[in-house]
Amino acid sequence: MCLIVFAWRSHPDYPLILAGNRDEFYTRRTRPAAWWGQAVSLLAGQDEEAGGTWFGITRRGRVAALTNVRAPTERNPHAPSRGALVLAALQTPEKVDRWLDRHSHRTPVFNGFNLIAGDTMPTGGQPVGSLHYYSNRLPTAARVLEPGIYGLSNAFLDTPWPKVTRAVGHFACSIANRVSVEALLALMADRELARESDLPATGVPLDWERVLSAVQIRAKGYGTRATTVLMVRNDGLVTFYERTFEATDPDRSSDRHFEFMIDTAPRPARLKAPDSN
């Protein structure tokens, strides 16, 4: 993904609400979101060229999402695919913080990335879920995220790029009124460009900085390929909605909608049957 806004444990009904845009070259082959494998325990889109994904959730409530760090002078064309990190975070039986601690020393070989990963429901005796942020371009260890509303693009978490601050503001207002898939899809479709004076300097030409400043990107050969909305409710109900845009005609789109209950979500206790005597 290239822009993610999310509310973590800051809404009374939803531990996690997330909306994200994946921006990519139109020529890169991609499969839309679907259940993976015979066990169908993982829901995600798929990068057909490298086999990984940019965002996913499991039936046990493990979630992971990745954005690239925009640093064109540091890019290694021979580096391994960052999408493999998302799959590994989703599939490991370890707790996310332990997995990150054990593998962080191996991540410098990847091009720059930000990873959000964690468990949306309580696990291992913990009273609440946990969400973590890690970047291989920061000298610090993985960070446990406190309850709040966050924005992440192609710099570090909560870096105030114009698209991030605009999206976070609209997102916060939207979920304060009513949590709605359509409202979240609409705010992620914002194509307004930032003023030149507000643009970050990330090492790409000025005309590209301007194009990339929109929440939803439309450029020659490149743009927003998919928008994803994820909502996890207190009772474990997951709503996953994906809108994909056609590579040959980005103004045309198709939608996919999934709902399921997280396996580890606490179930309400059964009422005891009245005594028949």
Taking the domains of the chain in order of start, what are their residue ranges? Answer: 3-261
**Lowest pLDDT segment from 19-28, 68-77, 96-105, 257-266:** 257-266
Q: What is the pLDDT of residue 14?
A: 97
Q: The domain 3-261 is classified under which CATH number: 3.60.60.10, 3.40.1010.20, 3.40.190.10, 3.75.10.10?
A: 3.60.60.10
Contact 229, 184 (CB under 8 A): yes
Q: What is the pLDDT of residue 126?
A: 76
Q: How far does CA 97 lie from the centroid of its chain?
A: 18
Instruction: Give the residue from 206, 203, 128, 214 showing the smallest Cα distance to 167.
Output: 214
Handedness of CA 261, 31, 215, 80 (dihedral sign): positive
**pLDDT digit string, tens, across residues 40-91:** 899 999 999 999 999 999 999 999 999 999 999 999 999 999 999 999 999 9
The continuous run of DSSP H or E covering 242 comes out as strand 237-245
Instruction: Name the maximum alpha-carbon separation found in the chain.
Output: 82
pTM of model > 0.75: yes
